[in-house]
Amino acid sequence: MFNIIVAVSSNYVIGSENAIPWNCKEDMKYFRKITSTPLVEGMENAIIMGYNTWKSIGRVLPNRLNIVIDRNAPEGGMVDEGHTCLVYVKNFEEALLQCCKGQGIFVIGGGKIYREALEHSGLDKVYLTKIFKKVDGDVTFPRLKDKFKLIDVTQGVDKDDLKLEFRVYERTDKKHEEYQYLERIDEIMRDGEVCSDRTGVGTKSMWGVQMTYDISENFPLLTTKRTFLRVIIEELLWFLRGSTNNKELRDKNVHIWDGNMSREYLDRIGLKNRAVDDGGPIYGFNFRHFGAEYKDCHTDYTGQGYDQVAEVLRMIKEEPDSRRILINLWNPCTLRDMVLPPCHFCYHFRVYGDRLSCAMVQRSGDMGLGVPFNIASATLMTYIFAHLTGKKPWRLVHTIHDSHVYLNHVEPLQKQIKRVPYPFPKMKLVDRGQTCVEDFKLEDFELLGYDSYPAIKMKMAV
């Protein structure tokens, strides 16, 4: 088994005219540490490189066996007369034969050698430094896709506050979980029932879809299109605070509720006396004040109604074996007062030992726009609840009753489902000693190791 180690720019450039197009001291320190630390005590690691990479380095790297792939080398390899730790070989397979069993082996470049190594069955891990700077160059590194899993990522900073991520990927035979989402969309578009709907746009619909995500290590933020996490976080925190005032979101430059709280929309659904930006007893109100009498979005409801969030947190800590740790957002008595009845109406939590899982149920799921948000939001809620109760997040089970594709989303979704997913990123919650959901803010959520395809524009139906 061998590994790859590589540094890439934001646009995955690794070289320009046989040279590294940056001078990044922190990455060089990381490179030395990873490639010089023996896997077996007393046995030096081996580094494999192409001839152009060797020439650009210009010297033997100490404390490692340097193996250079040179098509002019003799069969079986040739040890350099002046350096016993420098060997020339004809091809990649011969390079591997020069290494001993149990020895740490790292492929360090260049572009052609990297590509051959990525396709080799012996590849174990990829150590990838992402340098968040766009550069010009003539050699790039392939973006890792569904055959790899992100297992570790740490952040770093170089001179001039240049942001770095030190990522470790592991090859995996497990099917990427994003395919659940892509395959359901494909199935709906092929076999779904054509239906009319309240928006007048029309859908293709399928009844009863379920997807399961392992959220214990990786964060299921879709990679086949750019998904803007800031908006998802701000909306979730808005819900958990119990707010129904859209102005709080607009002040944070979040506009996903604007269409449902405009004067035109409110008048159209019969809420002519409702002020613009007042959502009525929607998600946040039922999270924190279920059953209270709703007046408007400015009223202080402290101590009124049933605080489902507080009760769930209490039960996770005090009654972890309960099968009744549940948040219900569907209140039939107030549906007509809402700008939009809840689509995701039930969150059911289960504790097994120190692990916390969540099952989210949706009556209706807009697969193109809404569902990617719902997956990420439910995962974030589970992370927050786990953080506040000393648990570890484990599974997310996502059930959608009417899962549908709006007809005006078919063309962009046909483009999206052809994309091969990148590895899911990781989510780090900054521990500031938060004791309640109100203590969390946007800056507490650090998304690490996220690569995605470009965003795909789809118009929201209202």
Residues carrying an active site annotation: 343
Yes or no: say if 150 and 168 are a contact pair by the CB < 8 Å rule.
Answer: yes
Residue 290 three-state SS: strand
Q: What angle do CA 137, 141, 145 make, to 5 degrees?
A: 145
Q: How far is CA 58 from CA 51, 55, 61, 68, 356, in A?
A: 10, 5, 9, 12, 53
Q: How far is CA 20 from CA 7, 23, 321, in A?
A: 9, 8, 56
Task: Give the CA diameter of the chain.
Answer: 90
Q: How far apart are CA 255 and CA 243, in angstroms?
A: 15
> Backbone dihedral region of 159: left (phi > 0), alpha (psi from -120 to 50 degrees) or beta?
beta
Q: How many residues make up the chain in this entry?
A: 462
> What are the DSSP calls for 307-353, one per residue?
-HHHHHHHHHHH-TT-S-EEEE---GGGGGGSSS--SEEEEEEEEET
Q: How far apart are CA 83 and CA 77, in angstroms?
A: 14
For tokens 């129904």, the residue is 244
Q: For residues 132-162, b (16+ Cβ closer than 10 Å) or e, as one string?
A: ebebebebebebbebebbbbebeebebeeee
Task: Give me 28's structure tokens.
Answer: 């060089």
Q: Which of 336, 335, 330, 312 is nearest to 322 (CA)?
A: 312
Q: Are 203 and 407 in contact (CB under 8 A)?
A: yes
| C-alpha atoms less than 13 angstroms from C-alpha of 16 in its C-beta half-sphere | 12
